[in-house]
């Protein structure tokens, strides 16, 4: 069959994927590339079948980027000012991380295949070198979240033996997750030392004996004990003798950011001699959900060989996004581009411009000041004061307006204060701020 000349000309006139993706303003690159590819493929199929061209390919691709409101898991606009919002998926990914995950999803990959040797490889090989470089550790591995990393570390080093922990660190964090429960599931015997507010080095020394498998320091997550308090620094713990498991929680790899000063840096724990350091990939690190384990080679090897390691392993999409995120940390300036770190350090002028733009687009809206939070169990004492757009909900009232916005497409989640709806520019990009203002304007109009 001979293809019609008009059809051939139309096929030649199709834009490249990159050109069409670049035209989708405000859409994350990885999502734009996928939508462009799908739209072009559909148009090519129409032309080959002899159908007339669809017309506006840009509009067709843009429509593909919007998930159907009927789907359960959907994109949400976060105007709450809570940066690492656990209920809204925690850290938004950098475009490089999104692109890496999309590439891994397109087909097969060398997830557990050594292409040089032509035999089975390890998924940990893709990330271990990066983690060793960034933390100074001898070895590293990754599991599916931080709770899993703590569980695996406790099982590998203290299973069937004593695990010594300060009472002040036996915390409960989101979702009723409790440190003692994790220890129990690991098979280790929990040995509590000290008191809720004060634990001294002598408390640990008195508890350590022949049955001790490890000492664990657990991050206090979303609270801090203030006042008459005392705790033992990681360097002193590592000098006690038994291997130390240090759960530092949020995963601080960035340097030179005063906003992160209250969180324990990973490199310090490694340099102190901790056997294993556990931290999250999706909190202050700014990557996908993951539990990272770095430390001594023998301790990491014990984790890799433990039966739980397979049950807790990370999937290929998260691993691809994590590797891309960690690569950014090789350059401190590039790391600042990670959405979480950029939001934490956003300047007054940037936030004010975004807040004013939203207020100007909404009837009766004004710019006020409010405090944003890091969220995600990190930096609970940090107050990030800045400008916000305050919206008068009118006769509908703030609760009704909030409900309308949650039912919009995409849903817009805000917070209320003194009868006004607050749109915090810290957790919105410029494009999202414009989109949020349009949704509020439509909701106010009923």
Residue 3 confidence (pLDDT): 45
Q: Locate the domains of the chain by residue range.
A: 9-64, 77-93+339-444, 95-335
Residue 8 confidence (pLDDT): 74
State how far the Cα of 254 lies from the Cα of 272, in Å rounded to an integer: 18
For 174, other C-beta atoms within 10 Å of its C-beta total: 11
Residue 173 confidence (pLDDT): 67
State how far the Cα of 293 lies from the Cα of 141, in Å rounded to an integer: 5
- Please check whether residue 362 is in contact with residue 391, taking contact to mean a CB–CB distance below 8 angstroms: yes
- Please check whether residue 244 is in contact with residue 238, taking contact to mean a CB–CB distance below 8 angstroms: yes
Non-local (6+) Cβ contacts of 88 within 8 A are: 76, 78, 80, 82, 413
Give one word for 244, left, alpha or beta, with left for phi > 0 and alpha for psi -120 to 50.
Answer: beta
Residue 2 confidence (pLDDT): 43
Residue 142 confidence (pLDDT): 98
Nearest to 23 by CA among 53, 65, 52, 54: 65
> Tens of pLDDT along 76-96?
999 999 999 999 999 999 999
Low-confidence ranges of the chain (pLDDT < 50): 1-3, 5
Alpha carbon dihedral 253, 385, 93, 87, in 10-degree steps, equals 110
Residue 175 confidence (pLDDT): 59
Q: Does 3.40.640.10 match the CATH number of domain 95-335? A: yes
Task: For tokens 């309308």, name the residue.
Answer: 404
Residue 123 confidence (pLDDT): 95
Nearest to 283 by CA among 333, 331, 325, 224: 325
State how far the Cα of 371 lies from the Cα of 302, in Å rounded to an integer: 44
> Could you give the residue ranges of the DSSP H alpha helices within 273-369?
297-305, 308-311, 316-328, 332-335, 339-344, 348-360
CATH placement of domain 77-93+339-444: 3.90.1150.180
Residue 176 confidence (pLDDT): 61
């Amino acid at each position: 069959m001979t293809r019609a000349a008009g059809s051939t000309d139309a096929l030649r006139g199709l834009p490249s994927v990159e050109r069409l993706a670049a035209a989708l303003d405000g859409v994350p690159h990885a999502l734009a590339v996928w939508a462009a590819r799908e739209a072009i493929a559909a148009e090519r199929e129409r032309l080959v079948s002899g159908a007339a061209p669809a017309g506006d390919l840009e509009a067709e691709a843009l429509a593909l980027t919007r998930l159907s409101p009927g789907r359960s898991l959907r994109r949400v606009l976060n105007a709450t000012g809570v940066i690492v919002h656990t209920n809204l998926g925690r850290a938004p990914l950098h475009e490089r991380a999104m692109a890496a995950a999309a590439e891994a999803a397109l087909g097969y990959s060398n997830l557990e295949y050594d292409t040089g040797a032509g035999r089975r490889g390890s998924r940990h090989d893709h990330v271990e070198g990066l983690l060793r470089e960034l933390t100074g550790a001898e070895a590293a591995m990754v599991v599916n979240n931080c709770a899993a990393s703590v569980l695996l570390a406790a099982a590998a080093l203290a299973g069937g033996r004593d695990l010594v922990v300060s009472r002040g660190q036996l915390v409960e964090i989101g979702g009723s997750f409790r440190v003692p429960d994790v220890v129990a599931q690991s098979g280790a015997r929990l040995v509590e030392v000290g008191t809720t507010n004060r634990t001294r080095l002598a408390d640990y020394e008195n508890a350590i004996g022949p049955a001790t498998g490890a000492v664990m320091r657990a991050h206090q997550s979303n609270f801090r004990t203030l006042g008459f308090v005392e705790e033992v620094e990681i360097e002193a713990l590592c000098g006690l003798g038994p291997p130390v498991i240090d759960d530092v929680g949020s995963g601080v790899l960035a340097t030179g950011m005063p906003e992160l000063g209250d969180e324990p840096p990973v490199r310090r724990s490694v340099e102190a001699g901790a056997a294993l350091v556990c931290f999250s990939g999706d909190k202050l690190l700014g990557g996908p959900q993951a539990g990272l384990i770095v430390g001594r080679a023998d301790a990491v090897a014990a984790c890799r060989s433990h039966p739980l390691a397979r049950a807790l392993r990370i999937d290929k999409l998260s691993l691809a996004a994590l590797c891309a995120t960690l690569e950014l940390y090789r350059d401190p300036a590039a790391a600042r581009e990670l959405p979480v770190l950029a939001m934490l350090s956003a300047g007054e002028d940037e936030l004010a411009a975004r807040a004013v733009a939203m207020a100007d687009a909404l009837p009766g809206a004004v710019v006020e000041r409010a405090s944003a939070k890091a969220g995600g169990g990190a930096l609970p004492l940090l107050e990030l004061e800045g400008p916000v757009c305050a919206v008068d909900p009118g006769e509908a009232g703030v609760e009704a307006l909030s409900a309308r916005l949650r039912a919009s497409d995409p849903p817009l989640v805000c917070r209320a204060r003194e009868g006004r709806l607050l749109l915090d520019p810290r957790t919105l990009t410029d494009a999202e701020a414009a989109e949020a203002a349009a949704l509020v304007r439509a909701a106010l109009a009923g």
